[in-house]
Amino acid sequence: MNVFVAGATGVLGRRVVPGLIGDGHHVVGLCRSPDNQDTLERLGAEARVGDLFDGEGVKKLSADCDAILHLATSIPKVPRPTRKHWTGNDRIRIEGTTALVSAALRNNCRLYLQQSVALLYGDRDGSWVDESDPVAERLPGILRSASEMEKIVLGHVSRDGLPAVILRFGSFYSHDSVQTSSMFAGIRKGRFPVIGDGRAIWNMVHVDDAAAAIVRTVSLAAPRGGTILNVCDDEPVAVRDLLDFIAGTLDVKKPGNMPPFLARLAVGADLVTVLLSSVRVKNAKAKGELGWKPDYPTYREGFRQAVKLWSDQRGTDGP
């Protein structure tokens, strides 16, 4: 297939592109700058320069494609993001999704794939959920655009027969993700505390495994109409256990605790609500429908690998 990838140069996209090419697809990667054009060409993709916020341009750029993948994000990379820092991400989720869905319909694509987040299940006091559970009715501001984005996609599934798959990913980590490396650096310096009592349950996925699930979805090329799949690893983990494990792997002291009210002052109330949300997300449907399983089934294997690569990259300065 000819596969159009928005977000092809990102942490996730850089892994998806070679995976798709390896499965015999031709990849057209969207990027905004000529610098990233070189990156895409080195990965073996055909680069096309454009912007998600130019809907007509996106339709033209993807006119010869059979599948469209929305993997673009703009998660704030500043240490203390305010609501203003999240507006770019909200636009990518709402305007970007509208543009890509319209392009997929106009171009009669066989697949539209939407990256989403398992955080949409909200706080369930640590209980198990699967795709038959509804997303939370009340979500913190920074997640509302993700819920809106899913509604846009599902609306076009029922009205126009959009052949869409929504993948709800656990929280990504990899040695080359800005968020993961700043977490490692923070834990190493004793500046990455556990917020609250550390009993909140998180659902993680290594970015390599997230990318593999995307490649499987494209290569299966089965008819799709609004399938939602959770893509998380096999073992939801309490924050305290996760951060202690990372500290142990880095061979540094375990993180201390920070009361939620102080964390709210530091990183904002919305983000703290997200970080304190506790839910266990099942991945059985993705395994069954995609024949996918994570190479890093738990945070232990995944973070051992990510810490090692991150430390190797830091050279002799490493932990």
Ligand X SMILES: NC(=O)c1ccc[n+]([C@@H]2O[C@H](COP(=O)([O-])OP(=O)(O)OC[C@H]3O[C@@H](n4cnc5c(N)ncnc54)[C@H](OP(=O)(O)O)[C@@H]3O)[C@@H](O)[C@H]2O)c1
> Which of positions 75-94 make contact with ligand X (CB under 6 A)?
75, 92
- Rank residues 40 and 253 by Cβ distance to ligand X and give the closer one: 40
| Sole binder of ligand X in the list 179, 219, 278, 298 (CB under 6 A) | 179
Near ligand X by CB under 6 A: residue from 36, 102, 278, 298: 36
Buried/exposed code over 202-218 (b: 16+ C-beta within 10 A; e: otherwise)? bbbbbbbbbbbbbbbbb
Stretch that binds ligand X, among 49-57, 102-110, 137-145, 301-309 (CB under 6 A): 49-57
Q: Does 166 bind ligand X (CB under 6 A)?
A: no
Strand partners, 115: 167
CA distances from 61 to 99, 124, 153, 203 (A): 12, 42, 20, 35
Rule CB under 6 A: choose which of 2, 26, 44, 51 binds ligand X.
51
**Which of 73, 145, 227, 230 forms a contact with ligand X (CB under 6 A)?**
73
Instruction: Decide if residue 7 touches ligand X (CB under 6 A).
Output: yes
The answer to whether the CB of 188 falls within 8 A of the CB of 250 is yes
The reply to whether 6 sits near ligand X by the rule CB under 6 A is yes
Tell me: does residue 208 bind ligand X (CB under 6 A): no
H or E stretch including 194?
A: strand 194-195
- Minimal distance in Å, beta carbon 306 to ligand X? 11
Give me the 235-274 binding string for ligand X, x by CB under 6 A, dash otherwise: ----------------------------------------
* CA separation for the pair 227, 131 (Å, rounded): 9
CA 101 to chain centre: 19
Q: Tell whether residue 10 is a contact of ligand X (CB under 6 A).
A: yes
Q: Which stretch binds ligand X (CB under 6 A): 19-27, 73-81, 249-257, 273-281?
A: 73-81
Q: How far is the C-alpha of 95 from the C-alpha of 98, rounded, in Å?
A: 5
Answer positive or negative: Cα dihedral of 210, 214, 217, 220. negative
One-letter amino acid for residue 233 of the chain? D
Q: If binding is defined by CB under 6 A, does position 74 make contact with ligand X?
A: yes
DSSP 196: T
Q: Is 103 in the site for ligand X (CB under 6 A)?
A: no
Q: How far is the CB of 34 from ligand X (least distance, A)?
A: 10
Strand partners, 111: 67
- State the nearest-atom distance from the C-beta of 57 to ligand X, in Å: 10
Does 309 engage in binding with ligand X (CB under 6 A)?
no
Half-sphere exposure of 168 (CA within 13 A, CB side): 29
- 53 near ligand X, rule: CB under 6 A: yes
Buried/exposed code over 115-129 (b: 16+ C-beta within 10 A; e: otherwise): bbbbbbbbbbeeeeb
Amino acid occupying residue 41? E
Q: Establish if 171 lies at the interface with ligand X (CB under 6 A).
A: yes
Tokens of 176: 């080359």
Kindly state the tokens that stand for 46.
């055909």
Tell me if 32 contacts ligand X by CB under 6 A: yes
Q: Does 13 bind ligand X (CB under 6 A)?
A: yes
Q: Are strands 201-202 and 237-238 parallel, antiparallel or unpaired?
A: antiparallel
Tell me which residues touch ligand X (CB under 6 A). Answer: 6-13, 30-32, 36, 51-53, 72-75, 92, 117, 169, 171-172, 177-179
